[in-house]
Amino acid sequence: MYTSCKVSQGVISALGPYGGKQRRGKWMTAFGTLEKGQHHRDQFSSTCTGDVISTRLGYTFAHLELCIDLFQDTYDPASLRDFTDQLLLYVESGEDSGLLTKDDLDHILLDLAGSGFQATAVTLTWLLGYMALNQDVQGEVHKEIDAVVGRDRLPSLEDQPYLPLTEAVMCEVQRLASVRPFLTPHRTRKGTVIQGYDIPRDTLVLFNVWGLHHDARYWPHPSRFNPYRFLNEDKVVEIPDHFMPYGAGTRQCPGESLADVQLFLFFTAIMHQLRALPAHPNMTLEGALDHLLRPKPFCVKVEARD
Ligand code: HEM
C-alpha cells in the first residue's frame, strides 16, 4: 500500500506526532504527549492496570519482532515489498540520521496494525450491519451510486464529491459506532483549567468520544440511525465540530485521510455489487468493547445486485 510513497514521506506520515490535519481546533493541546524516548509500551504499563493488556501487548510485540526479523532476512532494497521494507531502507540509507532503533520499528508497525487497519475493518463491519438493518437507506445509497457511477465500472475516488448521501451514511455509522470510544489516554504535563474544572498535573485524561457522539444536546435522537443529519438543506455534507471519530488536537489520528479513502472505496464497491439483508428477522447490532468498540457477531445475507 505504501510502496508508491516516497520513503521519507511514508515514514514521516506514520511517525509524525503532529501529522494529522488540524481540522478541529486546538482541543487538548494542554495534555501531554509521550516524553522523548518514552514508548507506548511504557505508557501502557504505567497507566493501565490490567495484566491482560500487558500480556496481549507482549504477544503482539513478539509477533512484530518475528515479522521484522523475517523481513530483514529477506529484504532486497531493489525490490521493496511494503511499508516494512520502506522503513528498513530508511534506516539502512541513514536517512533517519540514526534516530530509529529496532524498538522504534516495532512501535511504528504496532501503531499501524493496531491503531489503523483494525479500526477501518471494524468500521466497515458496522457499515454492513447498519445497511442490513436499514433497507430504505441502503436502497437510497444504491440509487445514488448507480446514478453517478453506473453499472459498468466500480466507484472511484473521483466519484466521492457526487455521492453525498453515501458519505453521510459513513459519517452516521462512524458517529453511532464510535469504534474508538475513548481517545488514547493522555497525561497532563502541567495543571490546567478546562471549562471551570481544575485538572492537576499528571492526571490521566480519557476523552469520551462515544459520550460526545451520543449527546442529545448535539445530536437530536442520538441513538437513531439518521444519515440525513449530516446533509444540509442543499444536500451537501456538513460535518460539525462535535463529530470527531479520529480524535482532535496534536495526537489526532494521522491515518485519517487514508482511512477515509479506504472506507469510501471498500464501502462503495460493496454497495455497488451487493445488497446486505439481515440473515434473521430479529437481527440486532450491539457493541462489545476491547480497545475498539466492535459489533458483536451478527449474520447478514448478501445478494449480488444486477
Ligand atoms: C476508521 C478508521 C480509523 C479510526 C476511527 C481511527 C481513530 C483514531 C483515534 C480516535 C486515535 C486517537 C487520537 C487521540 O488520542 O487524540 C487514533 C490514533 C492513531 N491512528 Fe487512527 N484511526 C483509524 C485509522 C487509522 C489508520 C488507517 C492509520 C494508519 C495507517 C491510523 C494510525 C493511527 C496512529 C499511528 C495513531 C496514534 C497517533 C498518536 O498517538 O500520535 N489510524 N486513530
- When mean pLDDT is compared across 9-23, 50-64, 278-292, the lowest value belongs to 9-23
Q: Which protein residue has the closest C-alpha to ligand 1 atom 3?
A: 119
Could you tell me if the CB of 213 is within 6 A of ligand 1?
Answer: no
Residue 170 Cβ inside 6 Å of ligand 1? The answer reads no
pLDDT in tens, 118-156: 899 999 999 999 999 999 999 999 999 999 999 999 999
Distance CA 270, CA 76 (A): 36
For residue 42, pLDDT beyond 70? no
Q: Which three cell numbers stand for residue 211?
A: 459520550
CA dist 142 and 305 (Å) reads 9
Which DSSP helix (H) or strand (E) runs through 31?
Answer: strand 31-32
Determine the residue of 179, 253, 256 to mutate for testing ligand 1's pocket, defined as the one with the most ligand atoms within 8 A of the Cβ atom: 253
Among 39, 105, 115, 180, the mutation site with the greatest number of ligand 1 atoms within 8 A of its Cβ is: 115
User: Which segment of 32-41, 130-139, 205-214, 279-288 scores lowest on mean pLDDT?
Assistant: 32-41
- State the Cα–Cα distance between residues 147 and 167, nearest whole angstrom: 15
Asked if residue 191 has pLDDT above 50, the reply is yes
- Enter the pTM of the model: 0.76
Q: By percentage, how much of the chain surpasses pLDDT 90?
A: 53
Q: In what order do the strands lie in the sheet with 186-188?
A: 31-32, 186-188, 204-205
Residue 220 has pLDDT above 90, yes or no: yes
Q: Does the pLDDT of residue 11 top 60, yes or no?
A: no
Q: How far is the CA of 152 from the centre of ligand 1 (A)?
A: 35
Ligand 1 atom closest to Cα of 123?
Answer: 1
- Cα 257 from Cα 271, distance rounded (Å): 21
Q: What pLDDT score does 230 carry?
A: 98
> Max CA-CA distance within the chain?
61
Residue 48 counted as an annotated binding residue:
no
The region of weakest confidence among 36-45, 118-127, 167-176 is 36-45
Residue 52 pLDDT: 53
42-56, 142-156, 172-186: least confidently modelled range = 42-56
Q: ∠ CA(289), CA(67), CA(104), 5° rounding?
A: 75
Average pLDDT over residues 41-45: 38
* Structural domains of the chain sorted by starting position, each given as residue range(s) with its CATH number in brackets: 7-16+28-304 (1.10.630.10)
In one letter, which amino acid is 294?
A: R
What span, in angstroms and rounded, lies between the C-alpha atoms of 75 and 127?
Answer: 38
Regarding the beta carbon of 247 and ligand 1, being less than 6 Å apart is answered: yes
Rg (CA), the chain: 21
Which whole number is the average pLDDT over 32-61? Answer: 46
d(CA 79, CA 164): 40
Confidence tier at 8 by pLDDT (50, 70, 90): very low
Averaged pLDDT, 283-289: 93
Alpha carbon of 305 to ligand 1 centroid (Å) = 34
| pLDDT above 60 (res 60) | yes
Winning range, highest mean pLDDT, from 1-5, 35-39, 302-306? 302-306
Closest CA to 246 of 256, 237, 260: 256
pLDDT of residue 2 exceeding 60: no
Of the chain, the percentage scoring pLDDT greater than 70 comes to: 79
Residue 30 has pLDDT above 70, yes or no: no
For residue 86 and ligand 1, the question of a CB distance below 6 A is answered with no
Q: What is the mean pLDDT of residues 248-266?
A: 92
Indicate if the pLDDT at residue 233 is higher than 60: yes
What's the grid cell of residue 34?
509521550
87 Cβ contact partners less than 8 Å away, ≥ 6 residues apart: 10, 11, 100, 105, 108, 109
Mean pLDDT of 249-277: 94
SS3 assignment, position 8: helix
pLDDT above 80: residue 166: yes
Q: State if residue 24 touches ligand 1 by the CB under 6 angstroms criterion.
A: no
